Structure 1
Amino acid sequence: MKEAIWAIVDELKRLRAEGEEGIPLSEEAFEELTKFARIADGQEVIDTPDEVEFVKKVDFDFKKQEETKQHQMAQKLKIVVGGRDFEIEAVPEPTPFVLPEADKKTRWEALREIVLGDKVCARHLREGKKIVFGVGNLDADIFFCGEAPGADEEIQGEPFVGKAGQLLTKIIKAMGLEREQVYIGNIMNWRPELPTRTGNRPPTEVEMAYCLPYLKAQIDIVKPKVIVALGNTAVTGLLGADTKRRMGAIRGKWHSFNNTDLMVTYHPSFLLQYASNEKKRQVWEDMMAVMERVGIPISEKQRGYFL
């Protein structure tokens, strides 16, 4: 019974999200909903002439439900950062949303508006910072998926605009493409909070789970031939946590996410920290595998990079 009630509530929320301010209801339908509501409330159903008047006076107290939900969302979650306890606002279950049946651009713009207006994402932002949403070609063959936004990204509201982003742009150019020809997104829409103003931390699984439906929707809109998971956090967000998984062992290998080929490789920030020719070559071999998968020709010069 409860599942059926919430199915109706979810449908009403969907209609409201699409701009509906009300729905027409026949007397027969109203009477049936009346019985339905009283059964759900544990009351005996009695067909009387006063049935409709009774329902008009019933308060389902959606305001109280919303207040309870807000209270749950405001609870704190304790995590450990740098060996010390740190409290962040607890993250609820993902927020349901519905995109219009339309062309790619319309759906993408609708999704972007939903994400930028997401109250949970907004509450986790530092003062004056921005929610980060994906950018790029909606018909791209390659979808680069990063980890969580950093300091530069939360300022501009765009993924991969800092030093790691500059390196990613160089990698894309080395593949014979422009940044505008691919799509770039993140596993997270906000920069995870820290007890300090500098530095970054990996998002928790719960944080990634909240943002994952938004990432899935972007992938569904773009429909790339290949997803490139940049770094272990992106891999965890897309493929799930695995304590035995090591980047050195899984990079360069093909996986699948929602029936889309997925290549795992190091994050550009890893290359900035460990800039050996060996690591650069490993990433480049991963990129050549991606190029071959999507049908981008590889020159002899390209095959010789970082040897």
Structure 2
Amino acid sequence: MNFASAKKALLEELIRMRSDGVDRIFLQDETFDDFQKLLLPNQPNVSGSENTGEDFSLNERIARALPQSSSPKENASVTDFLLPEPPSFLIPDGTKQMKWEWLREKVLGCETCNEQLNPKANVVFGEGDLDA
């Protein structure tokens, strides 16, 4: 990407961010210094595909900051486990609170839920007013 198209892409991204409600961004001091070196009016204009040392160092830092892509394992499967068919059950008659309590106990005691649960986690069941 040449300098002119990079400037345009940066400007368009900043405009998009502003329209999304972002009113501030954080720049590291060395990144800000690099922009100043490239954009000061008394500096020679960088044209077309010409690369300067500043251009290269900025591009190099950007490339290092981007996440490295990884290739998927050859024998990796999408799912390592299969969930059983969901159980069918009837909620017993009673008040709304009684039905809620029964359903809560059913979920918290569910073998599949507890097997798939992270050992450091809990099954989270809704809280609050039932009439809300």
Name the TM tier (shorter chain).
0.3 to 0.5
Structure number with higher relative contact order (C-alpha < 8 Å, ≥ 6 residues apart): 2
In our comparison, the structure showing a higher alpha carbon Rg is: 2
TM-score (ref. length: structure 1): 0.18
TM-score (ref. length: structure 2): 0.40
